[in-house]
Amino acid sequence: MKEPQNYQISLQSFEGPLDMLLHFIESDKLDIHEIPIAKVTDQYMAYLNQSLEFELEIASEFLVMAATLIAIKARSLLPKRIEQNPQNPGDLDAENDPEQDLKERLLEYKAFKMVALTLEQKQVQRAEHIGRLPTALEPYRELPTVSDFLAGLELSHLQEVVLRVLTRSQKTVDVSVVRDRETIPERMNTILKTLQKGSTTFFALTKNRQRKEIVTVFLAILELIRLNKIICRQEAKFGDIWIELKKTN
Amino acid sequence: MDRIEENELTSFDSLAILEGLLFVAGTEGLTDKQIADVLEISESEVSSLCHTLAVKQQQEGRLFRVMQIANVWQLNTVPALTPYLRRLSLVPAPSSLSQAALETLAIIAYRQPITRAEIEEIRGVKSEKAIGTLIARGLIMEAGRAEGPGRPFLFATTPEFLDYFGLQSTSDLPPIAEIERQIRQNE
Amino acid sequence: MDRIEENELTSFDSLAILEGLLFVAGTEGLTDKQIADVLEISESEVSSLCHTLAVKQQQEGRLFRVMQIANVWQLNTVPALTPYLRRLSLVPAPSSLSQAALETLAIIAYRQPITRAEIEEIRGVKSEKAIGTLIARGLIMEAGRAEGPGRPFLFATTPEFLDYFGLQSTSDLPPIAEIERQIRQNE
């Protein structure tokens, strides 16, 4: 009550009685091991009384600590019951010394408070490093099925691709060769043999070929798709078409 | 000569692939094993590859960088970009943890697995609310039950705890005994 | 000479900033206006800057590229990365879900489509990391945008999520209205 600042700080400002005791010790620049318990107890009780005056709710922890402090203070006023035996450091009385216990608790609590401070700083630093939301890998996970590969691929796209390949070397398309059915089954077999060695692409299959052969390849691929023998996939419109063997289980 | 160029190309490609993979993994990041499996290299080579990528990113003046946090490699922006991200409100509003939550978390980090009663013993106050917040934020989790009466829950930190504070492992924090020793000495 | 170098530096920096911003914006992307505002350039300059960045990314062999999709600029991986992503998808990732991720998933399942802000309001804590985990695990996905300021993304569960639980649709989820009512009454 003597110090005006007392009125500015309420019990609510503290994380608990230990926090409040640390505040007294640190603001008076005291050593935890040299705390004059009597003085700290007086300060502590002054705060409690102040809180009562303002009809603030006092958490039970603060009352428990008050009892501890008063017990320690009372004990310090009494003469020592047993003389400390220097040859017996495990003295029963020393082990149960509540003042020593309190000092150890304050020390431990202060250490964790310092860690909390470190964490607070690290939290701020880490927040400066921002990532992006992940992209789902699920679509890549399962071995895709025919319908996955063909999703969005329409025959008109295939047609566009073949027309583009055909017009790459020559301006006009000779439609008459499309009727040459004889070579399509042969071409289908050749493509299947190629695929048994590994997947390929439409551009690879038609590289350096005559347009008649290209059309045959194209028709053979359409037939193989229809027969569910191969899987085709086109990443982009007018892009290459990936072709692989459909695994039959 | 040809051979050197080929090697350079390969190494350049793995860096580009690595960056692409990390880009896709986003905040989830990738473990040594995931990267090693995809790039078909040994796990022991991953760290050096990631560091090479970080150097490359820095040299090219890019504002995101590969970094290892909580045992995963992830791409994150560098602080220089933060003012611009703020302008776009792309930076999540700061939501720092309360003092109570930070204290509770500090205790759990060092003493895990630990019961609520043990935490409250150290802090000298009830800590139920702080524990609840930390669980909801995914920073701690229930990790079994303690022996003894009531078999109370034990709490431990999660990998997200490490990520949240940018720690590699809990051993990145100074030993608590060391901190206590410093406090004693400074007095 | 000095002037040219300075200009180059500035232009280089805007590219780096642009790339960083797009990196964080993710699939939400950025509009011409957003980019123009942050970089303090006119909206008409944005397109050319983005194209310059795309060229730079291509020259440097990066496997993600700035592209304009549905009126927003975003960074996306290029098809060359696909085989590696397929391989990555087959490498087992950590499988367990954190409490935070599970809660977030449950909320999305029952309240979908839902924005991140709404999830965070229900949970009372930031949920960005949990959302990231759920996306990476293929349990939730972005499902359009909400009306209103910022037009934030809506999240919904994936078909795989329903498959896993053998549900035809989310309306097959065990009802919670009755339980909610009871909880409210007990309060």
* CATH code of the region B99-186: 1.10.10.10
Residue C88 has its nearest CB partner, among B19, B21, B141, at: B21
Fold of domain B2-87: Arc Repressor Mutant, subunit A (1.10.10)
A27 conformational bin, left if phi > 0, alpha if psi -120 to 50, beta if neither: alpha
pLDDT of C30-86, one tens digit each?
A: 999 999 999 999 999 999 999 999 999 999 889 999 999 888 999 999 988 988 998
What's the pLDDT band for A164 if we cut at 50, 70, 90? low
Contact residues on chain B for C136, CB-CB shorter than 8 A: 25-26, 28
CA dihedral angle for residue B156, residue B157, residue B158, residue B164, rounded to 10 degrees? 170
- Which chains, if any, share at least 3 CB pairs under 8 A with chain B? A, C
C100 to B138: CB separation less than 8 angstroms, yes or no: yes
Residues B86 and C17: beta-carbon distance below 8 Å: no
At what angle are helices B116-123 and B99-111 packed, to 10 degrees? 120
Handedness of CA B7, C80, B76, B34 (dihedral sign): negative
Cis bond leading into B113, ω under 30°?
yes
pLDDT of B8-39, one tens digit each?
A: 444 458 999 999 999 999 999 999 999 999 99
Q: Where are the domains of chain C?
A: 2-87, 99-186
> Token digits for A40?
């700290």
Which residues pair with residue B69 across a beta bridge? B72
pLDDT at position A74 is: 83
* Domains, chain A, with CATH or none: 11-78+99-112 (no CATH), 184-245 (1.10.10.580)
Strand runs labelled E in B70-176: 72-77, 114-115, 140-145, 153-157
- Mutation site, C41, C88, C103, interface B, largest B CB count within 10 A: C88
**Apex CA C120: angle with CA C116 and CA C121, to 5°?**
115
The SS3 assignment for C63 reads coil
Q: How many residues can be counted in chain B?
A: 187
Q: What is the mean pLDDT of residues B67-92?
A: 89
**Closest Cα in chain C to A133:** C132
Window B:8-27, CB contacts with A under 8 Å? 23-27
Residues C152 and C117: beta-carbon distance below 8 Å: yes
Our CA-based measurement puts residue B60 at a distance from the nearest CA of chain C, in whole angstroms, of 9
What's the pLDDT band for A6 if we cut at 50, 70, 90? very low
pLDDT at position B113 is: 95
* Same fold: C2-87 with C99-186: yes
Residues C15 and C40: beta-carbon distance below 8 Å: no
pLDDT at position A81 is: 58
Q: Does C139 touch chain B (CB under 8 A)?
A: no
pLDDT at position A142 is: 58
pLDDT at position C43 is: 94
pLDDT greater than 80 at residue C21: yes
pLDDT of C122-167, one tens digit each?
A: 888 888 889 998 998 888 998 888 887 777 889 999 888 887 777 7
